[in-house]
Amino acid sequence: MAAASIRLFNTMTMQKETLVPAVPGKLGVYVCGPTVYSYIHIGNARTFTSFDVVVRYLRYRGFDVKYVRNYTDVDDKIIKAAQETGEQPVELAARFVKLFQEDARALHLREPDVSPKVSDHLAEIISIIQKLVEKGVAYESQGDVYFSVRRYPEYAKLSKRNLDDLCAGERVQPGEQKHEPLDFALWKAAKPGEPAWDSPWGKGRPGWHIECSAMSARYLGETFDIHGGALDLIFPHHENEIAQSEAASGKTFARYWMHCGFLDLEGAKMSKSLGNVVRLRDALEKVDAEALRFFFLSTHYRHPLGFTDKGLADAEQRMEYFYETLRKVDERVGGKDFGKGALHGEPGKFLTEFESQMDDDFNTAGALGALSGLFALMNELTDKPPVKDKALVGRTLQALREDVRKVSAVLGLFEDEPAQWLLRRRDRAVKERGIDVARVEQLLQARADARKAKNFAEADRVRDELKGLGVEIMDTAGGTVWKVAAPSA
């Protein structure tokens, strides 16, 4: 597929722009990854899922993408967490890198092309700091090195903040050796018990912001196409990245900036200070991973998303509907040859609409809306076909099923075998509702025996008894299957 025309919202210009790669057909994408001092929370998960889909779609549209997402494994938070657990900071960080990778796989996040760690890139970090010192936009102060914000006239061009107002709201904190309140640390002098590396300014460790400048330049060059992250990184992290990178290189840092909106927990913006952070690992014990992905993607990535129990339950029910539809279609047409020929209606219009929505700033909410029409048509063709030509219906269902596979590669949804997903969903619901599976199976056999004996009144009575237990049954081409009915509103 040839590279398509995609419009994205550029935070730098605050408007939608046509994505034009610096090198035709190729794209460099950098996303700020996790600081590995604890488990990631669902706000992190939403951001990483959003950019996972962005990269998937760019590749689907024919772009050759190099995707870089870093690990911050040198940081104040890591040092503090290690002091609390009694581990060495490097050991704690390595442990949480592995745990993050487990969580990422569970959420169907594809591994980036490069996942660099700060601790492996000290040479690159020190090299940039040296350039900044030589150019007079950074200064050494008692073993620390600071970036002089006043020496970079374009500071705050991403966040659109007023420099004087920012200065008025800042203070030099105890222990800091900087000249002005807004100056930020590029290098921190070593303290007892903290990890440290040799540098021209003595032993120490890098500040937070410099790491992304060094690692993005190492793998994508001094100028690259797309830089992404969460909305709360615009200031100061991304602002500081721009300042130090462009002051060092004299070039534009990132050509397009993308930011993912906040996730609200029952109406409150999720933040550690509010104490209402939900870990992804905990959430996945209560809701299916694909249902959580669907929940994230059901709202445009730039918009705030309310995290509620009802929202998750609705997402899981919607995924159940999708997988039940796919099971019916696979039972009807899987592996069969219906020959070549015409298709019923315009089945290709749903994929076209899906692509149109995704081309418009990766509008996953609109894309999922297009899928609703596709699944509705599949249900119609399997349950009440509007035409009698079985070959025509079969070809159309197979074409629609293939389009679902294409969409699946972009959204990271519908990746499982329908029967397996539905069984996992049922097992979780059975456990939550305390349903006696042995009793259900006994009643299903009784109903089958009654139907075989043509005692349909008894079969209906058993169905009602199952319904009273919270069980819904479906007679399919592959036999009778059952699921836990949705709770009454």
For 359, half-sphere exposure in the C-beta direction (CA atoms, 13 angstrom radius) is 13
Partnered with residue 228 across adjacent β-strands are 31, 258
Coil, strand or helix at 113:
coil
Listed residues 246, 265, 283: the one ending a domain: 283
Of residues 174 and 78, more confidence is placed in 78
Q: Calculate the alpha carbon distances from 183 to 126, 144, 214, 289 in Å.
A: 18, 12, 19, 42
Written as six digits, the tokens of 340 are 């070549």
Length of the chain: 489
Q: What's the average model confidence in pLDDT over 222-248?
A: 97
Closest among 240, 143, 250, 241 to 200, alpha carbons compared: 143
* 231 and 89 part of one domain: yes
Q: Encode pLDDT of 107-157 as tens digits.
A: 999 999 999 999 999 999 999 999 999 999 999 999 999 999 999 999 999
Ordered DSSP codes for 237-289: IIHHHHHHHHHHHSS-SEEEEEEEPPEEETTEE--GGGT---BHHHHTTTS-H
Q: Calculate the alpha carbon distances from 454 to 13, 324, 391, 451, 464 in Å.
A: 71, 28, 33, 5, 17
Written as six digits, the tokens of 157 are 């061009």
- The pTM of the full predicted model, rounded to 2 decimals, is 0.93
Q: What's the average model confidence in pLDDT over 385-414?
A: 96
* 324 and 447 part of one domain: no
pLDDT higher than threshold 70 for residue 175? no
Q: Calculate the alpha carbon distances from 195 to 136, 156, 206 in Å.
A: 28, 31, 10
* 446 and 414 part of one domain: no
Closest among 353, 394, 350, 395 to 376, alpha carbons compared: 350
* 375 and 467 part of one domain: no
d(Cα 265, Cα 451) in Å, to the nearest integer? 49
Q: What is the CA radius of gyration of the chain?
A: 27
Q: What's the average model confidence in pLDDT over 69-95?
A: 96
Mutual angle of helices 289-297 and 364-383, in 10-degree steps: 120
* 130 and 262 part of one domain: yes
pLDDT at residue 94 in the model: 97
241 has binding-site annotation: yes
* 462 and 368 part of one domain: no
* 114 and 195 part of one domain: yes
* 198 and 314 part of one domain: no
Q: Does 201 reside within a domain?
A: yes
237 has binding-site annotation: yes
Do residues 342 and 387 lie in contact, with contact meaning Cβ atoms separated by under 8 Å?
no
* 388 and 473 part of one domain: no
Q: Residue 325: how many CB atoms within 10 A of its CB?
A: 23
Confidence of residue 277 (pLDDT cuts 50, 70, 90): confident
d(Cα 19, Cα 37) in Å, to the nearest integer? 35
* 192 and 95 part of one domain: yes
Q: Does 303 reside within a domain?
A: no
Q: Does 275 reside within a domain?
A: yes
The pLDDT mean for the chain works out to: 93
* Listed range (50-54, 207-211, 263-267) with the worst mean pLDDT: 263-267
165-180 CB burial, b ≥16 within 10 A, e <16: ebeeeeeeeeebbbee
pLDDT at residue 486 in the model: 81
Q: What's the average model confidence in pLDDT over 411-433?
A: 92
Confidence of residue 162 (pLDDT cuts 50, 70, 90): confident
Q: Does 302 reside within a domain?
A: no
Do residues 232 and 32 lie in contact, with contact meaning Cβ atoms separated by under 8 Å?
no
Of residues 432 and 393, more confidence is placed in 393
Q: How many structural domains does the chain have?
A: 3
Written as six digits, the tokens of 122 are 């000290």
Listed residues 418, 445, 469: the one ending a domain: 418
Q: Encode pLDDT of 423-463 as tens digits.
A: 999 998 888 889 899 998 999 999 989 999 999 999 999 89
d(Cα 366, Cα 406) in Å, to the nearest integer? 16
Q: What's the average model confidence in pLDDT over 301-328?
A: 94
pLDDT at residue 204 in the model: 97
Residue 21 belongs to a domain with what CATH number?
A: 3.40.50.620
Coil, strand or helix at 433:
helix
467 has binding-site annotation: no
Q: Does 300 reside within a domain?
A: no
pLDDT higher than threshold 60 for residue 168? no
d(Cα 471, Cα 234) in Å, to the nearest integer? 49
pLDDT higher than threshold 70 for residue 2? no
Q: What's the average model confidence in pLDDT over 103-107?
A: 96
Do residues 107 and 49 lie in contact, with contact meaning Cβ atoms separated by under 8 Å?
yes
pLDDT at residue 171 in the model: 56
Q: What are phi and psi of 128, to 5 degrees?
A: -65, -40
* 407 and 440 part of one domain: no
Q: Encode pLDDT of 315-366 as tens digits.
A: 999 999 999 999 999 999 988 999 999 999 999 999 999 999 999 999 999 9
pLDDT higher than threshold 80 for residue 166? no
Closest among 298, 265, 248 to 132, alpha carbons compared: 248
* Residue that is written with structure tokens 């139907």 in the block: 451
Domain that holds residue 365: 309-418
pLDDT at residue 487 in the model: 76
Q: Does 388 reside within a domain?
A: yes
Q: Encode pLDDT of 14-38 as tens digits.
A: 999 999 999 999 999 999 999 999 9
Residue 350 belongs to a domain with what CATH number?
A: 1.20.120.640
Q: Does 304 reside within a domain?
A: no
Query: What is the share, in percent, of the chain residues with pLDDT greater than 90?
Result: 80
Q: Does 294 reside within a domain?
A: no
pLDDT higher than threshold 80 for residue 402? yes
d(Cα 422, Cα 424) in Å, to the nearest integer? 5
d(Cα 344, Cα 37) in Å, to the nearest integer? 55
Confidence of residue 173 (pLDDT cuts 50, 70, 90): low
pLDDT higher than threshold 70 for residue 273? no
* 470 and 410 part of one domain: no
Ordered DSSP codes for 442-466: HHHHHHHHHHHTT-HHHHHHHHHHH
